[in-house]
């Protein structure tokens, strides 16, 4: 294990100083974990490059190994997979991974193709809303899968094989789109998916599947057509960089009045983030290798910010950006339209001195599916508010990184507990804090 895994770990942070320096982001967590699942479909070895050292990669590696995939780790973030001996894992072994990630639900289609059955444990992942899997089960049934809900998880079979179908998603869910892709590529016949998610990580997964031999067309109106093929080969792929991590460090530069060069950050997948960063008053400079983000001094501007599915502003940037918005002058409005409960983390920011009020109404301008229901999914943020150190506990991955930013921006000392969770998606973040001159120590 190359990185600390203790969930109980705490950081004591002496904040109030700008973060300055250079760090690098590697492959996107939300592509790498799916690319690893795609190896289950391959009848030849696969090679994935740019893999970050994060615990989600460990979790998916563990599940793949249980299913007979041999994985070897090379230097510099390269993983090699030999999926030629895929086999059914023991239920008890799979169950030991229960609650650790949401990625196992994507094993369904590939395992049904390879083995004719699949067992999926109860899912984990961040508690930022209900996060049901109804879309996943609906589309799997449309392909011909039979789903048997058992106390310990789900058992799926496909007595007549998986057959291409026409699917329309109620909402452009990232996971359900990936479920369709990973199932349709080897289903008999053609699948047409309407209202698909089109996040850059999904486009990169499509690129991998095409390298393996899949036939997939993406139209401009959220329609993806997949012509099933009888077999898929291996792939060699360099993951797209992690734009969520890049945006998180950019928000840290803004909130701490700092200056951070993020090697690996790319302009196009971050276009909406860069628009928001500029409107707030942050400065950035793009070159071929990365993006430099900095606070130019003086006041920052309050803004109205709404999250949405791609090409909108991605929800995963919302939490780090909210910390930066506590330092803008005037009233900022945030409307979270992807998850019903992704603003709960702001309570602790209030205890650190931020002035944040949550609302059930849709405040950003566009009505969303959470309006007129009992979800506090909009926020008003009054600033600038000097933050002061506090004792805070990491609630989820992005909220956790946001607490680190708040503690680094705050005057005085903070104790941030449960930081192990942050390793799920932020590679070697303590090394990066060192590189940026943060003043902190680790306990636990």
User: Which listed range, 69-77, 85-93, 129-137, 326-334, lies at the site for ligand EPZ (CB under 6 A)?
Assistant: 129-137
User: Which listed range, 133-141, 228-236, 253-261, 357-365, lies at the site for ligand EPZ (CB under 6 A)?
Assistant: 133-141
CB-wise, 175 or 364, nearer to ligand EPZ?
175
Question: From the list 81, 119, 135, 261, which residue makes contact with ligand EPZ (rule: CB under 6 A)?
Answer: 135
CA atoms within 13 A on the CB side of 330: 9
Question: From the list 72, 99, 152, 171, which residue makes contact with ligand EPZ (rule: CB under 6 A)?
Answer: 171
Quote the least distance from Cβ 355 to ligand EPZ, whole Å: 26
Quote the least distance from Cβ 177 to ligand EPZ, whole Å: 8
**126 is known as an active-site residue:** yes
Question: From the list 70, 74, 87, 134, which residue makes contact with ligand EPZ (rule: CB under 6 A)?
Answer: 134
Nearest to 294 by CA among 262, 333, 316: 262
CB-wise, 315 or 346, nearer to ligand EPZ?
315
User: Which listed range, 16-24, 35-43, 167-175, 297-305, lies at the site for ligand EPZ (CB under 6 A)?
Assistant: 167-175
What x-and-dash track marks residues 55-74 binding ligand EPZ by CB under 6 A? Answer: --------------------
Question: From the list 131, 155, 188, 211, which residue makes contact with ligand EPZ (rule: CB under 6 A)?
Answer: 131
Residue 250 binding ligand EPZ, by CB under 6 A = no
Quote the least distance from Cβ 320 to ligand EPZ, whole Å: 11
Quote the least distance from Cβ 328 to ligand EPZ, whole Å: 24
Both tokens of 326, joined, read 């506590």
DSSP labels, 289-350? SEEEEE--SSPEEP-EEEB-STTSB-HHHHHHHHHHHTTEEEEEEEE--S-TTSSTTHHHHH
| Residue 354, C-beta contacts closer than 8 angstroms, at least 6 positions apart | 326, 346, 381, 383, 385, 387, 406
Quote the least distance from Cβ 147 to ligand EPZ, whole Å: 13
CB-wise, 245 or 259, nearer to ligand EPZ?
245
CB-wise, 294 or 429, nearer to ligand EPZ?
429
Both tokens of 185, joined, read 């590529």
Between residue 285 and residue 324, which ones bind ligand EPZ under the rule CB under 6 A?
A: 314-316
Question: Which H or E element spans position 280?
Answer: helix 271-280
Is-contact 166 195, C-beta < 8 A? no
What number of H helices and E strands is found in the chain? 13, 24
User: Which listed range, 15-23, 28-36, 153-161, 399-407, lies at the site for ligand EPZ (CB under 6 A)?
Assistant: 28-36
CB-wise, 171 or 361, nearer to ligand EPZ?
171
HEC string of 128-170 equals: CCCCCCHHHHHHHHHCCCEEEEECCEEEEECCCCCECCEEECC
Beta bridge partners of residue 443, listed in sequence order:
10
Question: What b/e readout covers 397-436, taking b as 16+ CB neighbours within 10 angstroms?
Answer: bbbbbbbbbbbbbbeebbebbbbbbbbbbbbbbbebbebb
Residue 175 binding ligand EPZ, by CB under 6 A = yes
Distance in angstroms (rounded) separating the CA atoms of residues 140 and 263: 39
Distance in angstroms (rounded) separating the CA atoms of residues 226 and 32: 21
Between residue 335 and residue 374, which ones bind ligand EPZ under the rule CB under 6 A?
A: 338-339
Distance in angstroms (rounded) separating the CA atoms of residues 74 and 169: 39
CB-wise, 173 or 328, nearer to ligand EPZ?
173
Between residue 225 and residue 244, which ones bind ligand EPZ under the rule CB under 6 A?
A: 244
DSSP labels, 182-226? HHHTTSBSEEEEES----HHHHHHHHHHHHHT-EEEE-TTS-EEE
Quote the least distance from Cβ 375 to ligand EPZ, whole Å: 10
| Residue sitting closest to ligand EPZ (CB) | 175
Question: From the list 40, 46, 118, 133, which residue makes contact with ligand EPZ (rule: CB under 6 A)?
Answer: 133
Other CB atoms within 10 Å distance of the CB of residue 130: 9
Catalytic residue among 46, 126, 362, 368: 126
Nearest to 13 by CA among 436, 404, 319, 444: 404
Is-contact 413 12, C-beta < 8 A? yes
| Size, binding site for ligand EPZ by CB under 6 A | 30
CB-wise, 329 or 341, nearer to ligand EPZ?
341
Is-contact 183 139, C-beta < 8 A? yes
Between residue 399 and residue 438, which ones bind ligand EPZ under the rule CB under 6 A?
A: 425
Residue 129 binding ligand EPZ, by CB under 6 A = yes
Query: Contact residues for ligand EPZ (CB under 6 A)?
Result: 29-30, 33, 102-103, 126, 129-136, 171, 173-176, 197, 199, 244, 314-316, 338-339, 397-398, 425
- Which residues are catalytically annotated? 126
């Amino acid at each position: 294990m190359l990185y600390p895994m203790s969930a109980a770990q705490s950081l004591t942070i002496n904040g109030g100083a700008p973060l300055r320096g250079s760090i690098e982001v590697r492959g996107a967590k939300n592509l790498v974990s799916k690319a690893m699942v795609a190896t289950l479909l391959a009848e030849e070895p696969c090679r994935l490059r740019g893999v970050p050292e994060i615990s989600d990669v460990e979790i998916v590696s563990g599940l793949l190994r249980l299913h007979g995939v041999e994985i070897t780790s090379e230097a510099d973030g390269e993983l090699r997979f030999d999926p030629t001996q895929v086999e059914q894992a023991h239920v008890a072994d799979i169950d030991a991974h229960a609650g650790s990630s949401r990625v196992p639900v994507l094993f369904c289609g590939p395992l049904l193709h390879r083995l004719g059955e699949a067992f999926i444990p109860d899912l984990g992942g961040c508690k930022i809303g209900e996060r049901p899997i109804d879309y996943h089960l609906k589309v799997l049934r449309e392909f011909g899968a039979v789903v048997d809900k058992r106390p310990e998880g789900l058992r799926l079979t496909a007595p007549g094989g998986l057959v291409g179908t026409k699917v329309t998603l109620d909402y452009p869910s990232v996971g359900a789109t990936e479920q369709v892709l990973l199932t349709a590529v080897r289903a008999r016949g053609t699948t047409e998916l309407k209202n698909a998610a089109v996040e850059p990580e999904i486009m990169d997964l499509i690129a991998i599947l095409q390298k393996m031999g899949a036939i997939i067309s993406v139209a401009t109106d959220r329609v993806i057509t997949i012509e099933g093929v009888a077999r898929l080969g291996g792939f060699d792929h360099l993951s797209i960089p992690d734009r969520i991590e890049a945006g998180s460090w950019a928000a840290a530069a803004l909130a701490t009045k700092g200056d951070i060069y993020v090697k690996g950050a790319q302009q196009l997948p971050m276009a909406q983030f860069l628009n928001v960063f500029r409107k707030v008053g942050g400065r950035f400079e793009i070159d071929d290798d990365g993006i430099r983000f900095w606070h130019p001094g003086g006041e920052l501007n309050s803004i109205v910010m709404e999250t949405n599915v791609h090409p909108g502003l991605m929800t995963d940037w919302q939490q780090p950006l909210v910390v930066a918005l506590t330092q803008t002058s005037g009233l900022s409005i945030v409307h979270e339209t992807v998850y019903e409960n992704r603003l709960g983390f702001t309570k602790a920011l209030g205890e650190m001195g931020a002035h944040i009020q949550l609302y059930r109404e849709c405040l950003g301008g566009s009505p969303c599916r959470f309006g007129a229901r009992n979800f506090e999914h909009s926020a008003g943020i009054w600033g600038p508010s000097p933050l002061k150190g506090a004792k805070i506990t990491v609630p989820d991955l992005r909220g956790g990184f946001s607490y680190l930013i708040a503690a680094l921006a705050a005057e005085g000392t903070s104790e941030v507990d449960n930081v192990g969770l942050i390793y799920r998606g932020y590679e070697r973040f303590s090394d990066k804090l060192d590189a940026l001159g943060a003043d902190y120590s680790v306990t636990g």
